[in-house]
Amino acid sequence: MDTFKSEKALVVFSGGQDSTTCLYWALEHFGQVHTLTFGYGQKHSLEIECAKEIANRAGVDFRYMDMSFIGSLGSNSLTDTSIKMDDSKPEGSFPNTFVPGRNLFFLSTAAVYARENGIRHIITGVSQTDFSGYPDCRDSFIRSLNVTLNLAMDSQFIIHTPLMWLDKAQTWEMADRLGVLDLVRNDTLTCYNGIKGDGCGHCPSCKLRRDGLEKYLKSREKSCCSTSEE
């Protein structure tokens, strides 16, 4: 797929495993790559630093945008009239900050940004395989949103989702094929406890990541051996 080799692309970028893999996927397919990182309250600032470092090393444009207003849409602040909306920055992680349709806001904002910068390709690392519990990671949502964004702004965005049908092991495989397995393993941050690389090892995100890596490395070893046996 080198159809878009002369075009620009925007990667919705968190500095985690998935979006970093997407960044290198984008570098393979597009002529110029931009990244856009969102902060929305619960983000460790280290995560943003991480994203910036990876983007710099990849030599791509890095842009950070504060979306903490999204944190204020959570159930706590909106259903409880005594809680002010602007400054609900919950400590810890997800319970208070999960926002239905978060990807809706991220991708909508990315689309506005893309439009302003003459970019029509938007890349996101959402995956229906590993996160089927989140409706806004599903393929049908992304496709519908793509149409909605095009109608909203009279544009012709194309949202790319290279990881949509991959599980974590296959995502590691893609990183390996792109020559960045070590970079993704050591320099990305997906751990809920804010520890880079292999992370704390026991949070759900670390487990998912490690299980995928182990599965991929095993299968690589296997196919490696079976190749040498032939």
Which residues of the shown chain bind a copy of itself in the complex (CB under 8 A)? 63, 65-67, 69, 72-73, 75, 78-79, 82, 85-86, 99-101, 103-105, 108-109, 111-113, 115-118, 135-136, 138, 140-141, 144-145, 147-149, 151-155
Report, in Å, the least distance between residue 58 CB and a copy of itself.
Answer: 18
Backbone dihedral region for residue 136 (phi beyond 0: left; psi -120 to 50: alpha; all else: beta): alpha
Report, in Å, the least distance between residue 158 CB and a copy of itself.
Answer: 16
Encoded amino acid at 166, one letter? L
Cα 182 from Cα 213, distance rounded (Å): 11
66 vs 214 by CB, closer to a copy of itself: 66
Name every residue whose Cβ is closer than 8 Å to that of residue 60 and which is 6 or more positions away in sequence: 11, 23, 27, 33, 34, 35
Report, in Å, the least distance between residue 76 CB and a copy of itself.
Answer: 9
Cα–Cα–Cα angle for 156, 137, 26, rounded to 5 degrees:
55
Are 120 and 155 in contact by the 8 Å Cβ rule? The answer is yes
**If we measure between CA atoms, which residue out of 141, 61, 77 comes closest to residue 106?**
141
Report, in Å, the least distance between residue 101 CB and a copy of itself.
Answer: 4
71 vs 162 by CB, closer to a copy of itself: 71
22 vs 99 by CB, closer to a copy of itself: 99
75 vs 223 by CB, closer to a copy of itself: 75
105 vs 192 by CB, closer to a copy of itself: 105
Name every residue whose Cβ is closer than 8 Å to that of residue 222 and which is 6 or more positions away in sequence: none
Report, in Å, the least distance between residue 90 CB and a copy of itself.
Answer: 15
